[in-house]
Structure 1
Amino acid sequence: MMRISKFTVGILVSMILLSIFFTNVVNLLSTHAENTDDFAKDNFLKLTDTHENLMWFIQITDIHISIFRDPLRITEFKEFCHYTINTIRPSVVLASGDLTDAKTKDSIGSEQYEDEWRHYRDILKEARIQEKTLWLDIRGNHDNFNVADFKSKQNFFTNYSIQGKKNPRSYRYQMRKRNNLYTFIGIDACLEPGPRRPFNFVGILDDLEVNELNSLIQQTENSPNNYTVFFGHFPTSCIITPGHESVRDMIGKHKEGMVYVCGHLHRLGGLVPKMYTLQKAGFLELELGDWKDNRVYRMLAIDHGLLSFTDIQHREWPVVLITNPKHALFVNPARENLDIMKNSTHVRILAFSLSRIDFVKIKIDNGSWMHCKRVKGPLFVAPWDPENYLHGLHKIEVHIKDVEGRTKSISQPFSLDGTRLSFGLLAKFILMTSASVLFKSLFFVMLAVTVFPLIIVRYMHELVAAGKIVKPRLRRSCWFNWLKKMWIMSTVDRIFWPIVLYPIYLAIGPWSIGYIIEDHVGAVFAWGIFVNGAYLPGAFTYVYGFIQLFTFQVPVSLIMITAVGFRFHDLNAKPGRKLSWKKKACLHLAFTLLFAMQVSMAYMFWLAYGTMAFILGPLRTWSLVLAAILYYQSFHLPESCLRKASDIWHVSSDVSINEPSASPLTKAN
């Protein structure tokens, strides 16, 4: 029987583990809905050219009204409330959080400013918004910065928002139009209490809020003519539900839940301008770009049970939305009866502009242009025969012009046989994974990278010193030099143990103690925050810890390895050798830059959480003291501290440039 080497076994095991990992990732990011029963088939409405069974609404998010920066946010938000709402006349407006900015003038600290909330209230009041539409607003994490509880003087949402007094947290609103019931369920996942930034990035549904949300869902009628829209600030990937089913499962079990719309991620800084996906639980999740920097809003329509939407740049006119046939990417068989499109008699388009619409015309595939007729309000229709487009993907184009010469042209793919398009991989990853799990993984992987190599090398040294294994023989290379330096540093107890134990402490002990919220002293750990008698499970704290390990702990370890290695060879160098000032400057440059960066981060932490948190701060402040002490010691180590290393790496067997043929450390033994 052929013998299988350990290397081959290792390769096979690695391939199996990688296969399992990638299989799980592919399964996680699959947009094939699990809830594929045929309940939607019962909801069949004949789609013709009538104005019935049609409702449209708007979403706006991350307004970030600020008294310190970008006054155009306020000016253009006024325009939106006056001109956009007057023109589109939506049945509902969903304002999905971060209504105000709540950041200090230096953009580092966080505080609720009443003047920002007054701006928000006054704009809505001046525009008579409640006379024009149903305005459903909900809190975002910025609206909850530094808010201890609902009775807090900092909780301005309850007094200055439209829904705050009646619905301070999650709530439901229903409206009936003829035979159709439209339900809007707002999900408030803000932390309670709400700490200052940055530990307020991930939302949490506690026991009380999970029960409330389940109650709202259970009270919602399950019927073919009930269409439910969920909205909130945080994407589902940024909401944790400790000890309960996920928020995705809660939304998914409601069979009429068509979509969850949210904000918060701001298009990920422009990296993902279209952050959409179809969750496996059976509903669409659509993150909307912010008003703060991008000035976008979203118009959605439910037309005979089919959900369509478009994201629109402020001041962009005309606005057009094709509701039949709907975009192929957003077809959802688990929540929509697609036979409605197959049996429809007309293409249906919503068109809006500041002036009267002059014409709307369409073209399908390579066919000729066909003019649409206005039915009522913004609805334009044109007859078509779906039988001509039953197979594969097709394209519909729309061109619109108003009487003042403004034009708009759009096109979108559609399919009547279920042919699907794929969502962007990055968008799916962001919306379908768990931010909390990802953050924890990053932290503990970086913790392992920081600690385990040093421990392994230390253990190897013990085995070599005991004669149980032979010292590794490696070719002269950069890797060899680094292994040797790491080995030498691992034998110096006064350097090794602080370097190894400090990152382990960050995973266990408190990072800081200070005023986390208003006048309430709290303690921050990697795994959670204790403040005002409450425990907030760790989530974004792991990102903070990852950044500390990656930007400070790892470089400090590398610098200490280099410094101890330099000291080891310096003691073995010829007597009287001196470095030039240029070499000394280069030698200390890396630590100087790293130390300066950490000082600036400690200073920002002080601005965010105050003097107590700065002084009682092992994460930022104490790490500076520890690094300075270790760095000084590494260049002034006595010979006795390096004898263990000299016993193994004595120069006679490892001759290198500037190393003598015999080691003073060896002689000292």
Structure 2
Amino acid sequence: MATTAFSVFLFCFIFFFTFPYVSSSSVEAESDVRESFPMDGDVAWVVQISDLHLSAYHPDRASDLVRLLAPALRIIRPALLLITGDITDAKNKRRTTTRQDLSEWIQYRNSMEAVVNHSGLDKRIIFDIRGNHDKYGVPHVGHPLDFFSVHSVSAQLGRLSTIQSISLVGNDRKYVFIGIDDTISIGIRGPSNLFGHPTDRRAAAVESELQYWDIYPNNLVTKVLFGHYPMSFTASTENGQRYENLFAKYLVSSYICGHLHAKISKQLWRFHSSKSSSDVKVPKMSRSFWEWELGDWKDSRLIRILAIDGGVVSFLDIDFLRKFEVEDGFQTTILITYPVDSRMMNVEHNNHSLRNDINALVFSSQKIINVTAKVFDSSRNYKTVEEVPLQFIDIASNKLLFCGRWNAENYRSASATRYVLQVSALDSQGKETTSNLRPFSVEGKQAPYRSTLLAYLIFEVEWESLYSVLLWSNICFLLVLLFLPKVLNCHIEKYSSYQSISLSIQQQKSLSVIYQVLMEGSRNRVSWFSMLIYLICLLKFPWFWGYATSENGDIASMYLSGWMVPSPDGQQKLGTPDIMLITLPFLYLVVTPMFVLIYSLFAERSAFYSHLLGKSKCRNEPMPHIESEQISQLVTMIPSNYQNLSPTCKICRGWIRRFLLLGCLVVALTHCKLCLTLMLAYGFRPVLLSPALSWAPLLLLVGAYMCSMSVDMEP
């Protein structure tokens, strides 16, 4: 009866509080906006910048756009300027809450106006898209807190669609850039806003746009897509579709993005390859594309120059934090556009015809008087094989592209890294600048690219799938932890085999402690049923409630499966797998250690009482199980038995209890820290009044510790 009453009380306590749901939403436009710009020749270059994180508390990020970026753009003169998300920081000074700040968006608008004025760029070639920070706390597109729809460059030019299509039209070729805004439809505040969330409707719109450009021959159209989220941080659509298959199917050359800052790695590259065929009788074809992430402007002041030359794509990242660039202004920069770096070769899109030209873009504030390309042979200790002079191509007075002629037949090789190219430029001040060494393959062979372990885990692991593995493996472990010992205990009670099993286990000391913890910990019915009910609550009912969007918005509930956010059509489920930053730390750092500690507390009490009974005098004799009624009888015998214990036994008993108490305190402090983080993020009162998250773990720990304590041992 006591067990049943306690379990009913715990269940009612956890779900006593409920909250109303009222909200409004709107549907984002998925149709694409198609724009076209002419280009001279068939070589085009664009500039990408990402993760500006303009902040009211860090005005230098905005001022550096004018001080550093504007002069660089005046020299580079790109065909497009792409800003791939996280325009504003949207956090308070202590970085504990996420919310939109109007002053940051005004700061961005004013900075971009200054950049346009100082660089001389046409404002129409600037395309910006949202990042997750730009959607924090925005209940829906068009809401008063949706400052992107008012102050962004795209909004000022009437580009309010989630898909932007831009084509650069040359003499013989077309270069298509398609931007995708995959921010979550309802802007849940952090930390539950980390992934891109494409919809089936948006994926269909992207596919339709890619199909539109397939009316042209593939060798005349190069497709580059840009967005904020890497593929590893992009969820599947409602029907399980993923962009990787779509991009490969329509021969996308590359996808450029941001989101992961340079602190993780400045070289996050990923080669996607898949096999597909519409006819089962036809061998599957390999389809591939590159994914290149750009580091942040926020802390690293990075920009990227991406060039397309005859359909092949190459890029160069510029670090404005390098001392000489800050002190002396923009330095001469060289980007080789052909031959392409063999480490970034996409063999799927090359026709493998030999080109007898070397092309390089030279960006400099000084007049360039000489440009030379040198070919080295890495198999011969980098001996110089050939020097090729390059001459500028006068296209509309744009003296940035230099071209030279060579005989590509001389550089056929079985190795994609044998021959290396370097271009040097001499300016009118007598200063010589050299490019990085670039391995190349005239035959289109791809050199292996090796990433670091951290880069692989962050950039190449599909976190949506990994989250499911980590989540359900932990839940399965908890279920096994609850039910396996319980089933064994039922078997033992039925066949009275506890003594023999305990003896056989004790002979293997490595298993003895684990066995005692599992068997003795699970025999306490009150604690076992309490943990079971709590786990069921975590699986089926809300973990907590809070202000999921704006600070004054509606209350929403967070489940193990995601947020249930109010919408005009009822409840909308969002935030999977974004909630991994909440669920995984809570399950792995709080719930699992709590279950183990509760088991350990009751196992320690049972072991101590067994010792007091005097039934374990022999070292090899098994510890008997003490039934509840025996424990109540034993309490009257404790004073006399305790006096007979050795000092070593008393000290051991005290240290074990202290160790378990320390473990309980660590779990409790971790739990309080996680709760405080969520309270700061989603509101103190609603999270505080959410028992499943805030109170139940502490109650279970305190209850188990108190119930497992022995009575006063002094006579």
TM range (shorter): 0.7 to 0.9
Residue pairs, 1:608-623, within 5 angstroms: 608-618=681-691, 620-623=693-696
Q: Report which stretch shifted further, 176-185 or 300-309.
A: 176-185
Q: 1:361 to 1:499 in 2, by over 3 A?
A: farther
Kindly indicate whether the alpha-carbon contact (under 8 Å) linking 1:60 and 1:291 is maintained by their aligned counterparts in 2. Answer: yes
Q: Which digits, 9 at most, give the CA deviation of each residue in 1:279-328, with x for residues without a partner?
A: 43422111111111222111111111111112221247322211111011
Equivalent residue, structure 2, for 1:218: 211
What code does the residue aligned with 1:112 have? Answer: Q
Equivalent residue, structure 2, for 1:141: 132
What code does the residue aligned with 2:138 have? Answer: V
What code does the residue aligned with 2:226 have? Answer: F
Q: Which digits, 9 at most, give the CA deviation of each residue in 1:13-70, with x for residues without a partner?
A: xxxxxxxxxxxxxxxxxxxxxxxxxxxxxxxxxxxxx9721100111111111112x4
Quote the Cα distance in structure 2 between the aligned partners of 1:348 and 1:275: 24
Equivalent residue, structure 2, for 1:25: none
State yes or no: 1:538 paired with 2:579. no
Kindly indicate whether the alpha-carbon contact (under 8 Å) linking 2:130 and 2:181 is maintained by their aligned counterparts in 1. Answer: yes
What code does the residue aligned with 2:159 have? Answer: N
What is the SS of the residue equivalent to 2:107? helix
Quote the Cα distance in structure 2 between the aligned partners of 1:379 and 1:566: 78
Structure 1 position 246, deviation (Å): 1.6
The partner residue of 1:412 within 434, 438, 441 is: 438
Equivalent residue, structure 1, for 2:679: 606
Quote the Cα distance in structure 2 between the aligned partners of 1:422 and 1:507: 44
| Number of aligned residues | 584
Q: 1:161 to 1:54 in 2, by over 3 A?
A: same
What is the SS of the residue equivalent to 1:293? coil
State yes or no: 1:379 paired with 2:379. no
Kindly indicate whether the alpha-carbon contact (under 8 Å) linking 1:325 and 1:348 is maintained by their aligned counterparts in 2. Answer: yes
What code does the residue aligned with 1:59 have? Answer: Q
Q: 1:406 to 1:522 in 2, by over 3 A?
A: farther
Quote the Cα distance in structure 1 between the aligned partners of 2:184 and 2:425: 45
Q: 1:585 to 1:125 in 2, by over 3 A?
A: same
Structure 1 residue runs of 5 or longer lacking an equivalent are 1-49, 639-669
What TM-score, normalized by structure 1, do the two folds share? 0.81
Equivalent residue, structure 1, for 2:554: 520
What code does the residue aligned with 2:88 have? Answer: T
Quote the Cα distance in structure 2 between the aligned partners of 1:500 and 1:416: 65
Q: Report which stretch shifted further, 604-613 or 275-284.
A: 275-284
Equivalent residue, structure 2, for 1:67: 56
Question: Which contiguous aligned blocks of 4+ residues in structure 1 show a shift greater than 4 angstroms?
Answer: 425-433, 576-587
Q: Report which stretch shifted further, 461-470 or 203-212.
A: 461-470
Equivalent residue, structure 1, for 2:257: 262
The partner residue of 2:525 within 477, 493, 512 is: 493
Quote the Cα distance in structure 2 between the aligned partners of 1:509 and 1:609: 18
The partner residue of 1:462 within 470, 481, 490 is: 490
Residue pairs, 1:224-243, within 5 angstroms: 224=217, 225-239=220-234, 240-243=236-239
Kindly indicate whether the alpha-carbon contact (under 8 Å) linking 1:567 and 1:634 is maintained by their aligned counterparts in 2. Answer: no
Residue pairs, 1:163-312, within 5 angstroms: 163-165=154-156, 166-168=158-160, 169-220=162-213, 222-224=215-217, 225-239=220-234, 240-243=236-239, 245-255=241-251, 257-267=252-262, 269-271=263-265, 273-280=267-274, 281-312=287-318
The partner residue of 1:567 within 596, 605, 626 is: 605
Quote the Cα distance in structure 1 between the aligned partners of 2:671 and 2:595: 14
Structure 2 residue runs of 5 or longer lacking an equivalent are 1-38, 275-286, 377-382, 613-640
What is the SS of the residue equivalent to 2:270? strand
Kindly indicate whether the alpha-carbon contact (under 8 Å) linking 1:514 and 1:616 is maintained by their aligned counterparts in 2. Answer: no
Structure 1 position 400, deviation (Å): 3.4
What code does the residue aligned with 1:57 have? Answer: V
Residue pairs, 1:625-636, within 5 angstroms: 625-636=698-709
What code does the residue aligned with 2:137 have? Answer: N
What code does the residue aligned with 2:307 have? Answer: A
Q: Which digits, 9 at most, give the CA deviation of each residue in 1:452-497, with x for residues without a partner?
A: 1342122122222222976262334243212212211011122223
Q: Report which stretch shifted further, 557-566 or 151-160.
A: 557-566
Equivalent residue, structure 1, for 2:349: 335
What is the SS of the residue equivalent to 1:334? helix
Residue pairs, 1:567-586, within 5 angstroms: 567-571=605-609, 572-573=611-612, 574-576=641-643, 585-586=658-659
Kindly indicate whether the alpha-carbon contact (under 8 Å) linking 1:395 and 1:413 is maintained by their aligned counterparts in 2. Answer: yes
What code does the residue aligned with 1:575 have? Answer: Y
Quote the Cα distance in structure 1 between the aligned partners of 2:207 and 2:683: 39
Q: Report which stretch shifted further, 196-205 or 425-434.
A: 425-434
What code does the residue aligned with 1:324 have? Answer: Y
Residue pairs, 1:578-597, within 5 angstroms: 585-597=658-670
Q: Report which stretch shifted further, 512-521 or 361-370.
A: 361-370
State yes or no: 1:471 paired with 2:496. no
Quote the Cα distance in structure 2 between the aligned partners of 1:324 and 1:186: 25
Q: Report which stretch shifted further, 149-158 or 313-322.
A: 313-322
Quote the Cα distance in structure 2 between the aligned partners of 1:249 and 1:102: 33
Q: 1:272 to 1:317 in 2, by over 3 A?
A: closer
Q: 1:491 to 1:586 in 2, by over 3 A?
A: closer
What code does the residue aligned with 1:567 have? Answer: R
Q: Which digits, 9 at most, give the CA deviation of each residue in 1:378-435, with x for residues without a partner?
A: 1122322111111123211233344453634410111133432223355566555432
Q: Report which stretch shifted further, 527-536 or 365-374.
A: 365-374
What is the SS of the residue equivalent to 2:87? coil
What code does the residue aligned with 1:92 have? Answer: L
Identity of aligned residues (%): 24
Quote the Cα distance in structure 2 between the aligned partners of 1:233 and 1:162: 16
Quote the Cα distance in structure 1 between the aligned partners of 2:535 and 2:306: 48
What is the SS of the residue equivalent to 1:261? strand
Kindly indicate whether the alpha-carbon contact (under 8 Å) linking 1:275 and 1:288 is maintained by their aligned counterparts in 2. Answer: no
The partner residue of 1:313 within 319, 323, 327 is: 319
Residue pairs, 1:435-454, within 5 angstroms: 435-454=463-482
What TM-score, normalized by structure 2, do the two folds share? 0.76
Equivalent residue, structure 2, for 1:41: none
Equivalent residue, structure 2, for 1:17: none
Kindly indicate whether the alpha-carbon contact (under 8 Å) linking 2:345 and 2:445 is maintained by their aligned counterparts in 1. Answer: no
